Amino acid sequence: MQIEEQQSEIRFFPEGGIDVRKIEAELMSMWTEMSRPESGTDAPALTRACTLNLIVYTTELSDSAHLADILDEVARRHPARTLLLVTDRDSTETRLAAYVATRCQILGARTKQVCGEQITIEVAGNAVDLAASAIAPLLVPDVPVFLWWDDIPHQDDQLFSRILAMTDRAVIDSAAFDNPYDDLLKLDTLMRNGDSLISDLNWGRLTSWRSLTASFWDVADYRPHLDNIDKVIVEFQPPGVASDQVALQPLLLVGWIASRLSWKLESANFDKGNNITHISYLAPNHPVNVIICGSEYETQEIDPLKSIRLLYTTGRAEFSVILEDEGSKLETTAITPDRPAVQRLVACEAKSDGQRLSSELSFLKRDKVYEGAVSAAAEIIKAVRS
Amino acid sequence: MHSPAVLDNPLRLGTRLERTAEPCAVVIFGASGDLTKRKLVPALYRLYQQRLLAAEFAIIGLSRSPLSHDQFRNRMNDAVKEFSEARMVDEDVWHSFAQGIYYLSSDIGNPEDYQKLAALLEEVDRERGTQGNRLFYFSVAPRFYGEAVKRLSEAGLAKPKEGRWTRVIIEKPFGTDLETARQLNRQVLEHFSESQIYRIDHYLGKETVQNLLAFRFANGIFEPLWNRQYIDHLQVTNAESVGVEGRGSYYETAGVVRDMIQNHVFQVLSLVAMEPPANLDAEAVRDEKVKAMMAAREFTAERVRAECVRGQYGPGAIEGKPVPGYREEDGVASDSTTETFAMLTMYFDNWRWAGVPFYIRSAKRMPKRVTEIAIQFKEAPHQLYGDEVMEQVGPNQLIIRIQPDEGITLRFAAKVPDQITRIRNVNMDFRYGSSFGVELAEAYERLLLDCILGDSTLYARKDMTERCWEIVMPILTEWAASASKVDFPNYEAGTWGPSASHEVLERSNRRWRRP
């Protein structure tokens, strides 16, 4: 579906702040112009729609094309008022400027366009501290407010805290954390301490893995083996940054399983030389050893998982999900001693960042499962560091 | 609407993860037919792709054609490429799926073939881990159902093993009249319990049809208006632009009342007319649907003559192409009196709907394909703006479009920005395709998954199918008795039906909405 954008710039002087009326007037002028009927027809050409407010925080527009692609993708499912906050905190210049734009889905010839709108606010230097107050009056009432924080969120960041307080849900991407351990611990603290609802695009990337792992528990005959899992092996490709730390995806996956199955953490340690993390859990009836090991192989950086294997060693049962075909497919295998192995190959979900963000914008409820996974992953990190 | 039979899965509880079906084997009777290749296997493949089926899944195709497992797999591969929405197949994923496809050349009346089927199912249980859960899909003519269920029972396949399930899906038509419907139900119930029987009506798998329940009962604002106090009348249009498409011989024995109204239209109508259920359990919803249909006013001969219209299309043009009349179609008698158009005026004699007419029309060779329910509300009790200003303004309407372009439209009056007062109708549209930006599941995908999950909400119950026959029987009887008096054809292909169907509404100062 094609997206069309039109833009108009409004400049403000920092001492005057943002003139909300000017911005709304500029938008209204654009809508009026665009909604004039085509000549010879009586019907308006477009429908202005707003299903949510989306505040986007970013630090630079150097990758503006990628950002525009993501917002176009979001506009297809969620016509919205997007407030794009572009900040340059390190600038010595104090600056405040705004642009308004419309984003329309072209549904087809001779059909109405469905349009959302975008207000871009560029702030630099000391004006950054005022950005939250510029955003608040521009939020459309009666529809949810989402925040996509395209950076690492810090609870002690005043701007982040102020904007977070206005939102119904914030979306982050823990794959972008420069220091996975520290940043995850901060995320865990943030979620424990407040009412903030957080979504994580990195968690969304785990959906196929979780769905396929969960599917083993759908089979009644597998339960006696699954209830006695005593070993879990997760393989991943180590991240390019902070190579002394485990990427968050395997930690979140293990944290998810442990929290859902009520495993109690006993100890964790990291063998840096071999890039292996050993974790000991106590399941309700027996110990479980979890091994997270980094291995070199070709895959996309952002999805580092290679495999997860769940074993009941004495029962000779194994359940696995393995990435195949250069990262395009996932193969599940269920091996139990009393029957032939059952295998299945499915294509990986090829979702763009825009599609993942769109998915998160459909949820307003607290994601307790994600919070539980983060909390369990945070426990592992603390245990490794202790 | 979760089936109590689905295991509690600690890794699924409280998550957004999709529900996955239990291991099972789907046995398709009549697997060489059209339905299997056009709908069933593409739907199952798509469910598999979306990880909604267990890895422990198998399909067994049955028919008389002599095919090997691989030959049948190849045919299904071609079918998925041709008939699935995506029109493309990932060969590796297909290969994984096809490992679970089997074929057995068999005769529906041969008891030995059922023993072979039983043996094959045991083998599939061992190889594929399908665990003894079986779904038998009867994609064959109803005249074979009795034989098939009897033979299944004799082979020990009708009753499930301990802790497992066995279900059967039967396709419409559920009989050709009330007596044959009852007989069919008796035959199947002799060997399967009602809870094992899933009578499929694919209209109930459509997203907008399912949305009717959500629309009515998840919102607080519509239900208070959903009654005789505020609604003037309802129009249900189920129009097809196609003709009989080579199925003239079958259609001659059916007609539009049997083919569409008695099943699809009435199923949808019951969702509109029903009372709110106490909960969303399958039986609670189906109880209310039947209760609504029980209130339908009887069609006396007088009512049929005065308030129902039948028609048959003659030659005409559809989308710029000339098309023959019904009597020129293959398999149709040159003096056929089969109706390809039917209009009924229904009333529901209960507190909610007393006095509100439900105008229903279903037909072939209409100008376009559309199925919709249009609810027309009563006019404002006092017109402040005067007749001249309101002349161009129609009454408020709520239109629920089931196909194509599924969605809901609310039509209301608004002032045109101007110095002088002009009021015009505007539409507030909700369309599935553009609002959610997601690909809608095909009806069979939803229905097959529901059956495997044990959720019968979207399937027709025995009492509902028989009640629907009870309602139409007087119409069919009266029309059969007066067949010699019809003047067919009485509408041109590509028009909205006989003029008599418009006159019925005009007598009450109403008119059909142009969809």
How close B396 comes to chain A (CA, Å)? 19
Angle A362-A368-A374 from CA coordinates, rounded to 5° = 105
Whether residue B127 and residue A340 make contact (CB cut-off 8 A), yes or no, is: yes
The pTM of this model reads 0.81
Do the chains contact at A217 and B10, CB–CB below 8 Å?
yes
Q: Which of B54, B127, B128 sits opposite A215 (nearest CB)?
A: B54
Cis amide leading into A340 (omega within 30): no
Scanning every residue of chain A, which has its alpha carbon at the shortest distance from the alpha carbon of B164?
A220
The answer to whether the CB atoms of A261 and B10 lie below 8 A apart is: yes
- For an interface test with B, the pick among A35, A36, A219, A310 (most B C-beta atoms closer than 10 Å) comes out as A219
Using CB atoms, pick whichever of B6, B13, B126 lies closest to residue A339: B126
Q: What are phi and psi of B444, to 5 degrees?
A: -65, -30
Instruction: Say how many C-beta atoms besides its own lie within 10 A of residue B80's C-beta.
Output: 24
Q: How many other CB atoms are there within 10 angstroms of residue A166's CB atom?
A: 14
B207 touches chain A (CB under 8 A): no
Contact flag A208-B16 (C-beta cutoff 8 Å):
no
DSSP letter at B229 equals T
Mark which residues 107-146 of A lie under 8 Å from B by CB: 107, 114
Amino acid occupying residue A96 = L
Distance CA A7, CA A104 (A): 12
Closest by Cα among A321, A342, A309 to B56: A342
Hey, is the C-beta of A2 within 8 angstroms of any chain B C-beta? no
Where do runs of H (alpha helix) occur along B327-461?
386-390, 432-436, 443-453
Taking CB atoms and an 8 Å limit, are A208 and B51 in contact across chains?
Answer: yes
* Option in B21, B55, B131 nearest A332 (CB): B55
* Cross-chain Cβ contact B16/A363 below 8 Å: yes
Facing B55 at nearest CB: one of A1, A223, A343: A343
CB proximity B23 to A under 8 Å: yes
- Regions in chain A scoring below 70 on pLDDT: 1-18, 34-49, 61-63, 104-114, 239-244, 296-303
How many Å from the N-terminal Cα to the C-terminal Cα in chain B? Answer: 33
CB contact under 8 A, A107 and B434: yes
C-alpha A152: how far from its chain's center? 12
Which residues on A lie below 8 Å from B122 (Cβ)?
none
**How confident is the model at residue B76, as a pLDDT?**
95
Which is nearest to A214 in space by CA: A332, A316, A323? A332
**Burial bucket for residue A36 (CB in 10 Å: 0-12, 13-18, 19+):** exposed
Please confirm, yes or no, whether B264 is among the known catalytic residues. Answer: yes
Q: Rounded to whole angstroms, how far apart are CA atoms B460 and B279? A: 18
Q: How far out from the chain centre does Cα A92 lie?
A: 32
Per-residue pLDDT of chain B in tens (515 residues, 90 and over written 9):
334 345 678 888 766 666 778 999 999 999 999 899 999 999 999 999 888 899 999 999 999 999 999 999 999 999 999 887 666 688 999 999 999 999 999 999 999 999 999 999 999 999 999 999 999 999 998 889 999 999 999 999 999 999 999 999 998 888 899 999 999 999 999 999 999 999 988 888 877 777 888 889 888 888 999 999 999 999 999 999 999 988 899 899 999 999 999 999 999 999 999 999 999 888 999 999 999 999 999 999 999 999 999 999 999 988 778 899 999 999 999 999 999 999 999 999 999 999 999 999 999 999 888 899 999 999 887 777 776 666 667 789 999 888 877 788 888 877 766 666 666 777 777 765 544 445 556 788 889 999 999 999 889 999 999 999 999 999 999 999 999 889 999 999 999 999 999 999 999 999 998 88
Query: Which of B289, B288, B308 lies closest to B298 in space, CA to CA?
Result: B308
CA distance B196 to chain A (A): 21
Of B7, B92, B93, the CB nearest to A220: B7
- Rounded to the nearest angstrom, the minimum Cα separation between B166 and chain A is 16
* pLDDT value of position B1: 38
Q: In terms of C-beta distances under 8 Å and separation of at least 24 residues, what long-range contacts does A365-368 make, across chains too?
A: A365/A197, A366/A197, A367/A197, A367/A198, A367/A199, A367/A203, A367/B16, A368/B14
Hey, which residues does B162 pair with through a beta bridge?
none
The DSSP letter of residue B373 is E
Question: How many residues belong to chain A?
Answer: 386
Q: How far apart are CA A269 and CA A277, in angstroms?
A: 6
Nearest CA in chain B to A32: B417
Compute the distance between CA of residue A84 and CA of residue A71 in angstroms, rounded to an integer. Answer: 10
Cβ within 8 Å of residue A56, ≥6 positions away = A67, A71, A82, A83, A84, A85, A147, A148, A150
Q: Which of residues 413-432 of B touch A (CB under 8 A)?
A: 429
Give the nearest partner residue to A342 out of B21, B93, B128, using CB atoms. B128
Burial of B168 (0-12, 13-18, 19+ CB in 10 A): buried
Would you call A274 exposed, middle or buried from its count of C-beta atoms within 10 A (0-12, 13-18, 19+)? exposed
Q: Is B13 on the interface with A (CB under 8 A)?
A: yes
CB contact under 8 A, A211 and B20: yes
Cβ–Cβ < 8 Å for A69, A99: no
- Give pLDDT tens digits for B374-389: 999 998 877 777 766 6
CB contact (8 A) between residue A219 and residue B93: no
Residue B84 token pair: 């699935």
